[in-house]
Chain A
Amino acid sequence: MTKQQANWSPYDNNGGSCVAIAGADYCVIAADTRMSTGYNILTREYSKICKLADKCVMASSGFQADVKALQKQLAARHLIYQHQHNKQMSCPAMAQLLSNTLYYKRFFPYYSFNVLGGLDNEGKGCVFTYDAVGSYEKVGYSSQGSGSTLITPFLDNQLKSPSPLLLPAQDAVTPLGEAEAIDLIKTVFASASERDIYTGDKIEIVVVNADGIRREYMELRKD
């Protein structure tokens, strides 16, 4: 008597990759714009990036329906925060909120793999990386999604800060210039789209710095 398996799943994986890199006074968040299901492409122009607050941007890959629901939840909570505190949420505050929101659905999770990027209260870049149920960590750079296994080793090679066991203690913020970070992102996505079938079409790059938020695009392989 074998265990009965579900013949329907509430989840689907729409693929895609997300990357974020933090600098001394900026943060770059990028994601590809391909949305897939199985071996098919649903659209080549879907944005996985969402602005949550003035200085806080989130990129999520996974099941986009859950991602959309999560983004709406956070936007509504942010509005309440603004009414009560008369100011925008800081990136670290939003990071905690995201973690709590994800863990709230610990037993029916949001199938959403997130990277949160932005500026903290002092204007320094910060990146937070999550799993599907809200475990998170502040890091200097991160990658999530179908291409993350290809992207992360490359970022480690270029950016990895020494082990935290090493003394003296080193900052989590990577010492990279804004233009270099964007260049690195483009390189990394170009490589990932070579081997990952779910990554491609276009990259959407969002840069958060003291001047505000700006957006760039770059074409990728369409196959």
Chain B
Amino acid sequence: MFRNQYDTDVTTWSPAGRLFQVEYAMEAVKQGSAAIGLRSKTHVVLGCVNKANSELSSHQKKIFKVDDHIGVAIAGLTADGRVLSRYMRNECINYNFTYESPLPVGRLVVQLADKAQVCTQRSWKRPYGVGLLVAGLDESGAHLYYNCPSGNYFEYQAFAIGSRSQAAKTYLERRFENFTDSSRDDLVKDAITAIRETLQGETLKSSICTIAVVGIGEPFHILDQGTVQQIIDTFEIAAEQEGPAAEPDAAEQSAAAADQGGSTDEGVAPMDI
């Protein structure tokens, strides 16, 4: 992006009414490797791309179990994400201790958002550089939320964050109307397909992605590599018969152009969307 005289600390407004430090924090989310989430009436599936620093190292953990009924996938500064997961786990444990019932997802998400907001209004703090996809189940059904560094949160039917997430978003936009009534297995297949979109031609294998599921009668858990590989195998066979997927590259370019258009002072600040 660009530097200007209003981006030194988070407590400085720009003349256009923007907090650049917060927007830069949102940029950090876009730099992280992709994470996607989608939900049906009864299940929520999270998926992420496993990025390793080098061939020698293991990949970073991006999906965390928060409680039996809540899980989170992160993109951006994974260290910030780890700290926030620990906070979420604590909140769930404390709520359960006091009320002997699981913390409703909507409540947790608001607490997270308030925590993020504090960091946008203190001169000695910086915003969390991580976007969280919170998947959870409570009495009112299955939920998928996205928490930004800005302190905003939104509920989604399906969403993708991180680098090359636009490709996944395009795929999800085409298919999301079917998700509400999808079966659990179809939802997982859609998640893996969405992840494949972000890989831009790289071979899809179970070592490169992590999938987690939470649903009615199914506590949050991360699927093991063997199961994921089996699912990949089933539809790789189907895909061979269909032919390669439509151009993700064209979609990427138009999305990039749109981004730059919004980046000038005249454009809408990203956190206001």
What residues of B have a CB within 8 angstroms of the CB of A76 in the complex? 93-94, 96-97
B residues 83-112 touching A (CB-CB < 8 Å)? 86, 89-90, 93-94, 96-97
What residues of B have a CB within 8 angstroms of the CB of A80 in the complex? 89-90, 93
Chain A interface mostly helix, strand, loop or mixed?
helix
What residues of B have a CB within 8 angstroms of the CB of A83 in the complex? 65, 86, 89
Interface size class of A (residues with CB under 8 A): under 10
A residues 66-119 touching B (CB-CB < 8 Å)? 72, 76, 79-80, 83
Bound complex: CA A83 to CA B64 (Å): 9
* Closest beta carbon of chain B to A178's beta carbon, Å: 31
Chain B, Cβ-Cβ closest to A86: B65
Bound complex: CA A83 to CA B89 (Å): 8
Bound complex: CA A83 to CA B90 (Å): 10
Interface size class of B (residues with CB under 8 A): under 10
What residues of B have a CB within 8 angstroms of the CB of A72 in the complex? 97
Annotate B113-125 by CB proximity to A: 1 below 8 A, 0 otherwise: 0000000000000
Chain A, Cβ-Cβ closest to B65: A83
* Closest beta carbon of chain A to B57's beta carbon, Å: 19
Bound complex: CA A119 to CA B181 (Å): 44
* Closest beta carbon of chain A to B90's beta carbon, Å: 8
What residues of B have a CB within 8 angstroms of the CB of A79 in the complex? 89, 93
* Closest beta carbon of chain B to A85's beta carbon, Å: 13
Bound complex: CA A72 to CA B93 (Å): 10
Bound complex: CA A72 to CA B100 (Å): 10
Chain B, Cβ-Cβ closest to A72: B97
Bound complex: CA A169 to CA B93 (Å): 44
Bound complex: CA A72 to CA B95 (Å): 12
Bound complex: CA A72 to CA B65 (Å): 21
What residues of A have a CB within 8 angstroms of the CB of B93 in the complex? 76, 79-80
* Closest beta carbon of chain B to A83's beta carbon, Å: 5
* Closest beta carbon of chain A to B141's beta carbon, Å: 24
Interchain residue pairs with CB less than 8 A apart (7): A72-B97, A76-B97, A79-B89, A79-B93, A80-B89, A80-B90, A80-B93
Closest 5 CB pairs of A and B: A76-B93, A83-B89, A76-B97, A79-B93, A72-B97
